[in-house]
């Protein structure tokens, strides 16, 4: 398959509406340092292109989980599959929650309507997925990507026209922006330049090394060099979109500073930052353009939910139902089981999106990291142990996954946990979301390797 289309499709699939809706609010409300993540792209390309891609291409696998079973056994494969299902459920819940929050703003509804909007959005998405829908193939991914990208450019263009030029571009640090240093070991510091680069490198490495969608895209190219080209296109597409969304955030900052009457009553720019992008889309873009962007948002959400439902159904049916049934399911039974699964997934996603998401602290970027990206590193560690640690054992891989996951949860929800337990932290009252993946990686590698070495030493002593 063409490397350019595969690369854009990969980015469009992993990009989703989460990044689209969360990024502008971060730039206009918190500051520009998240943009420094672009500096990590060369490192990501080298790691993924010359370390991860060749490993999978040499083994000619159709499923990443085949490697786990071959090296570490079926139990580890099933645990990894279960973790993958959890990650996808969390991702889909957020995928429904953020567009629903945007609809609340675009229609001027009260927050009390959010559960009903989530129910409607999630219900339509799940019905779409369960009856078959249009599959999120490469071409549809490309069209949605172009529409969303075009909508972002239209925001910049209309703001520039309204303000009579590029005066909206910030030339000095805004008073309401956070302190965002180059580096700090203080976990209370929300965002740093090095933290942004490191978290971006880790996320892309973990996603490319453990996400079945990314691995399938690599395998479809036919050769390591073609896969590298597709990943390069993916990286360039990511850099372009990141830059455009940063400019959207900066342009909206200039617009709402010039027109404070359009900020929600009783709110500052910083407090309303995540709401201002959807409000602008609804009330300030030309009517036809606004409709196209809104349609693209929900087409992308539907496509992503459809992809999520299909991937979860495939994992559950292949790794759990078919594996443990004495008699294989007929084709008709497979279809019925997949539809029942889609309904069950929909119930979980809608309930989570309606009642749990609103309790996760932070703005949209922080919520994304605490929900959708929370367990990406623990899943990658299982593959890391299987592929890159020659002395890895099943027990070591399981311990790596559990300790990494536990660390990620504690770091991500440090403040709510200490408040719930009524504990006064001695050192840190808050821990930045940028510490989630580094801490999870360190804990998992350390414990996984230690347990593997210990198990082999004990086994050798018995022998």
- Per-residue pLDDT at 136: 40
Please provide the CATH number assigned to the domain covering 3-361.
Answer: 1.20.1730.10
- Per-residue pLDDT at 463: 60
Of 157, 153, 156, nearest in space to 145 by CA: 153
- pLDDT, tens digit, for every residue of 135-185? 444 555 666 667 778 889 999 999 999 999 999 999 999 999 999 999 999
Q: Report DSSP state, residue 261.
A: G
Task: List alpha helices for 50-137, DSSP H.
Answer: 53-59, 64-72, 74-107, 114-130
- pLDDT, tens digit, for every residue of 235-272? 888 898 899 999 999 999 999 999 999 999 899 999 99
DSSP per residue, 268-331: -TTTTHHHHHHHHHHHTS-HHHHHHHHHHHHHHHHHHHHHHHHHHHHHIIIIIIHHH-SSPPPH
- Per-residue pLDDT at 5: 61
Domain ranges (residues) in the chain: 3-361
Residues 157 and 174: their CA atoms lie apart, in Å, by 22
User: Which comes out higher in pLDDT, residue 47 or 287?
Assistant: 47
Q: How many helices (H) and strands (E) does the chain have?
A: 19, 0
Percent of the chain predicted with pLDDT > 70: 91
Residues 67 and 385: their CA atoms lie apart, in Å, by 11
pLDDT beyond 50 at 187: yes
- pLDDT, tens digit, for every residue of 89-134? 999 999 889 988 888 888 888 888 888 888 887 777 777 666 654 4
Average pLDDT, the chain: 87
- pLDDT, tens digit, for every residue of 192-238? 999 999 999 999 999 999 987 778 778 778 788 988 998 898 888 88
Yes or no: say if 28 and 222 are a contact pair by the CB < 8 Å rule: no
Of 394, 437, 398, 432, nearest in space to 415 by CA: 432
Rounded to two decimals, the pTM is: 0.91
């Amino acid at each position: 398959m063409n490397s350019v289309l595969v690369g854009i499709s990969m980015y469009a699939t992993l990009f989703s509406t989460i990044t689209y809706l969360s990024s502008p609010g971060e730039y206009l409300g918190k500051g520009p340092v998240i943009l420094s993540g672009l500096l990590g792209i060369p490192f990501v390309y080298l790691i993924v292109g010359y370390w991860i891609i060749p490993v999978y291409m040499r083994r000619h696998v159709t499923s990443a989980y085949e490697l786990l079973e071959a090296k570490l056994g079926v139990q580890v494969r099933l645990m990894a599959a279960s973790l993958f299902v959890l990650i996808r459920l969390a991702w889909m819940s957020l995928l429904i929650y953020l567009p629903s929050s945007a609809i609340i703003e675009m229609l001027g509804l009260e927050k009390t309507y959010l559960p009903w909007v989530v129910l409607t959005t999630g219900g339509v998405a799940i019905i779409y997925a369960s009856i078959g829908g249009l599959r999120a193939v490469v071409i549809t991914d490309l069209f949605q990507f172009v529409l969303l990208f075009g909508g972002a450019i239209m925001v910049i263009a209309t703001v520039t026209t309204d303000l009579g030029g590029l005066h909206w571009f910030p030339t000095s640090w805004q008073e309401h922006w956070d302190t965002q240093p180059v580096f700090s070991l203080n976990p209370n510091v929300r965002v740093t330049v090095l933290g942004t680069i490191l978290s971006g490198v880790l996320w892309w490495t973990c996603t490319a090394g453990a996400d079945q969608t990314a691995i399938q895209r690599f395998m479809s190219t036919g050769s390591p060099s073609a896969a590298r080209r597709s990943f390069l296109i993916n990286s360039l597409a990511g850099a372009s979109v990141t830059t455009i969304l940063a400019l959207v955030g900066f342009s909206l900052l200039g617009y709402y500073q010039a027109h404070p009457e359009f900020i929600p009553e009783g709110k500052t720019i910083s407090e309303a930052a995540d709401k201002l992008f959807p409000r602008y889309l609804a009330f300030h873009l030309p009517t036809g353009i606004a409709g196209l962007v809104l349609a693209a948002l929900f087409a992308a959400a539907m496509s992503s939910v459809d992809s999520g439902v299909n991937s979860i159904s495939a994992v559950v049916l292949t790794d759990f139902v078919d594996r443990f049934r004495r008699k294989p399911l007929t084709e008709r039974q497979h279809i019925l089981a997949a539809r029942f699964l889609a309904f069950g997934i929909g119930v979980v996603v809608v309930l989570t999106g309606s009642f749990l998401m609103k309790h996760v602290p932070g703005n949209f970027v922080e919520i994304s990291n605490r929900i959708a990206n929370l367990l990406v590193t623990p899943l990658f560690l299982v593959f890391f142990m299987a592929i890159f640690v020659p002395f890895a054992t099943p027990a070591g891989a399981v311990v790596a996954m559990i300790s990494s996951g536990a660390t990620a949860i504690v770091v991500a929800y440090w403040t709510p946990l200490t408040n719930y337990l009524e504990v006064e932290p001695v050192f840190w009252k808050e821990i930045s979301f940028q510490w989630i993946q580094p801490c999870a990686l360190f804990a998992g590698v350390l414990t996984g390797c230690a347990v593997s070495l210990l198990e082999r030493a004990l086994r050798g002593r018995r022998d």
